[in-house]
Amino acid sequence: MSDRQSEQVSGMNRRDLMTGLGAGLAAIAAAPGGAMAQQETAARPAGARVRALPKGGELPLVGLGTFLTFDLVPGRPRDHLREVVKTYWDGGARVIDTSPLYGTAEYTVGVAAAELGITDQVFFSDKIWSTGEFVADESHAVRSLEQTQGRLWRERIDVMNCHSLTNVDAIVPILRAWKKEGRIGHVGVTHHENDYHTPLTSWIERGVVDFIQVNYSIFNRAAETRVLPAAQERGVAVLVNMPLEKARLHKAVEGRALPDFAREFGAENWAQFFLKWVISNPAVNCALPSTSNPAHARENIGALRGPLPDAAMRRRMVQHMETIPAFSRIAEMPWYPDKKYEGIIRRAQAQVRARS
């Protein structure tokens, strides 16, 4: 397997310890290289793979997603979710991605990080889904930011994204202003559907965003057509959502053994097989697999270690998956097949269905 110049294996991680607002932070945000260039280092287990960010700094190649999996009805047990965060963290992950739209996920993440004593060290990726009382009104977005700050107990959010390109023409200028003021470190835009790859690419090409988040997996490779090449060309960092297709990849291989050749790039389970395929694309800076199961978290985070497949091996991996009948039917499967996440999102959806 070939080592790329853009990545390294390291026992240290750069951290942004600056969490206050004000002139000092604004100066850091405006400095050459941006906020990431100002980060200190925090201990991370040796051997965890990181990749350089286009504009300075680095991130581990696997982080934690929280949609549905971290949404609980208030009062329900959540110690298992703190264990998921701890497992990812101890394994070398530093990015946690969440959103106000993810039910109680922000609360759960914030409490877990505080209890583990890592709040100031996490690289938080969060989102804004906002309109306003009138065109260019910032009030809704400000309330969302303040709510996120309170839930995560962080004054400065590392990456703030325009969620699913919602009201994007108004929100991106607001995010750029917040970055200049030191409220956030980076500006991002996200989507999770192929139909929006063209507008996502357009925002990359405008040169006004630092990060994008896009859906990409061994099954859904559409981002390779325009989004990922544009991000590499324009120096935009890439976070990947749905790298495991919301458990549908695991459903497709249920009961099947890993192919023998998986040993060549250190995959010990299907999660690592799928994740190593994603993070071996040099355009990807961090994949964000989500789970509520600590055992699955241990499988996921293992993808940070060992060699990565090269281009020839990645093609072989796809070819192998194409021999599995259920692989071609993944798009027809529901998200998280055979799983139930009974949080406030699912409760609200059920209530609307019952009334309509």
Fold of 7-355: TIM Barrel (3.20.20)
Strand order in the sheet with 157-162: 95-97, 123-128, 157-162, 184-190, 211-215, 237-241, 286-287
Query: Are the beta carbons of 242 and 192 closer than 8 angstroms?
Result: yes
pLDDT at 313: 98
Which of the residues in the chain have pLDDT under 50? 1-6, 8-42
Q: How many CB atoms lie within 10 A of CB 261?
A: 13
pLDDT of residue 47: 86
- What are the pLDDT digits (tens) for 113-170? 999 999 999 999 999 999 999 988 999 999 999 999 999 999 999 999 999 999 999 9
Which pLDDT value is given to residue 38?
Answer: 35
pLDDT at position 44: 64
Please write down the long-range contacts of 147-151, taking CB distance under 8 Å and 24 or more positions apart: 147/100, 147/106, 148/100, 148/106, 151/106, 151/107, 151/109, 151/110
* pTM exceeds 0.85 for this model: yes
3-state secondary structure 50-74: EEECCCCCEEECECEECCCCCCCCC
Tell which residue, 321, 325, 303, 238, has the closest CA to residue 87: 303
Domain ranges for the chain: 7-355
The per-residue pLDDT for 314 is: 98
Q: pLDDT tens-digit profile of 56-101?
A: 999 999 999 999 999 999 999 999 999 999 999 999 999 999 999 9
